[in-house]
Amino acid sequence: MSPNYILLAIPVFFLFMAIEFWYGRRKGLRWYNFEDTITNLNLGIGSQATGILTKLLVLGAYEAVYTHWRFLNLPQSWWVWPAAFVLFDYIYYWAHRLGHEWNYMWGAHIVHHQSQQFNLSVALRQSWIHNLLSFFMFLPLALLGVPLYMLVLIGAFTTLFQYWIHTKAIRKMPRWFEYIFNTPSHHRVHHATNPQYLDKNYAATFILWDRLHGTFCREQEEPVYGITKPLGSLNPVWANLHFYPELWKGIQREKGLLRKIALPFRGPAYLGTLLPAAPPQKPQPVQVSLFIKLYVCIQFIILTAALVKYLIHFHELSTFYRLAGFALIVLSTHICAALLEARRHAPLAEAFRLIAVVLLLNVLYYTQYHNWFVIMLAASVTLGISFGIALLLNVLHTAQKQRLST
């Protein structure tokens, strides 16, 4: 999706999450969990930061194929849009399906399925590398003469359409709509770990593709969400990478060179037969103070604003600041998770992060945005010191409570 669409959609995303949260609480239902929601949103932030870095490669490859190897020159006619949309949606079905059936792609797509909740924030829980692994499947559209701007607009619409289907608030749509289109009911099945629901309902917009290829399943019993082996971590970096060590272990255990080479293109179920059986892991809840939750929430708000600025001014930044900004965004999501997991190193890591953010911002503004340097210097230093003092006081208070309890 183009960054412009993201900037427009961000307030809409949060508005509808707030409405869903309010509606659920009004009915006495706990659809949201703070730690899970923050993790979902941090993964979404990291996905967009990664996407802006990789989009030149992905879209550049598409444009190169379109420019040099397209077979057709499509006319400027109205029918081209719906035809391209239907074809894009069909390719998306297969890209999504292979994201479940090929290990190397499941290792990226698994991120979207890790949450044990099902709400609108889960729609924003996206892999940081999946687009790099699956974009080749959309290159036939370039060969058929679909221009890049059309691909971007259709992709944006498809992405936005899938936001609303991540909810429990809508039980069923009208029967005709349920038959043709993807809906919350169909997508709840897709996110479920119930045996009869596994690997079903891959559609983006048209559920007809699942009906056509035998992967459709109607929602009946209450879905149980997540993945069959729970992640047990709030760390967004680990969420994106944790499957690949398992895949590597499977490759080492597989017999024969050809079978080793083929394993990334086989399914997760087969990979599971190569790995030693492990007892089911149930994530241990970690109790953190209200202060830490509030602190992480404030950092998330600041991080969201930073992401917006990063996307807006990306093309003005040098390669160094593009990479440094990306690194700080990823580091911020990592440390927020560490704070919520009460990791011992987290407060110290956060102190270093605050110093790094203040230094990077002020050097950037001094070299590129002279008129705003004094304002940025005063604001960033004040906030950085304030956050540091608040965090230090919390650490001292926690240590005192632990001494009194022992």
253 within some domain: no
User: CA 241 to CA 277: how far, in whole Å?
Assistant: 20
Asked if 200 and 71 sit in the same domain, the reply is: yes
Q: What are phi and psi of 289, to 5 degrees?
A: -70, 160
**Residue tagged 């892991």 (tokens):** 281
Asked if 207 and 295 sit in the same domain, the reply is: no
Asked if 52 and 185 sit in the same domain, the reply is: yes
**Residue tagged 């949201």 (tokens):** 32
User: Where among 213, 230, 247 does a domain terminate?
Assistant: 213
Q: What is the mean pLDDT of residues 263-285?
A: 80
Q: Identify the residue with better confidence: 159 or 399.
A: 159
Count of positions (residues) in the chain: 406
Domain containing residue 380: 290-405
Q: 278: pLDDT confidence band, cut at 50, 70 and 90?
A: low
User: Where among 164, 180, 213 does a domain terminate?
Assistant: 213
Q: 176: pLDDT confidence band, cut at 50, 70 and 90?
A: very high
Q: Residues 298, 299, 305, 307: is their CA dihedral positive or negative?
A: negative
Domain total of the chain: 2
Q: 75: pLDDT confidence band, cut at 50, 70 and 90?
A: very high
202 within some domain: yes
Is the pLDDT assigned to residue 1 strictly greater than 80? Answer: no
User: CA 370 to CA 272: how far, in whole Å?
Assistant: 57
∠ CA 41-43-44 to the nearest 5 degrees? 60
Residue (of 53, 62, 65, 52) closest to 1 by Cα position: 52
Greatest C-alpha distance within the chain: 77
33-63 pLDDT, tens per residue? 999 999 999 999 999 999 999 988 899 999 9
User: Where among 196, 213, 230 does a domain terminate?
Assistant: 213
Alpha carbon 171 to chain centroid, angstroms:
25
Q: What are phi and psi of 214, to 5 degrees?
A: 75, 20
The DSSP annotation for 66-127 comes to HHHH-S----S-TTHHHHHHHHHHHHHHHHHHHHHHSHHHHHHHGGGG--SS-SGGGGG---
321 within some domain: yes
Asked if 136 and 46 sit in the same domain, the reply is: yes
Q: 285: pLDDT confidence band, cut at 50, 70 and 90?
A: low
pTM score = 0.93
260 within some domain: no
91-108 pLDDT, tens per residue? 999 999 999 999 999 999
Is the pLDDT assigned to residue 338 strictly greater than 50? Answer: yes
Tokens of 322: 């593009």
Residue 93's pLDDT is what?
98
Is the pLDDT assigned to residue 2 strictly greater than 50? Answer: no
Asked if 171 and 59 sit in the same domain, the reply is: yes
Is the pLDDT assigned to residue 283 strictly greater than 60? Answer: no
Phi-psi region of 125 (alpha: psi -120 to 50; beta: other; left: phi over 0): beta
Residue 388's pLDDT is what?
94
User: CA 114 to CA 108: how far, in whole Å?
Assistant: 11
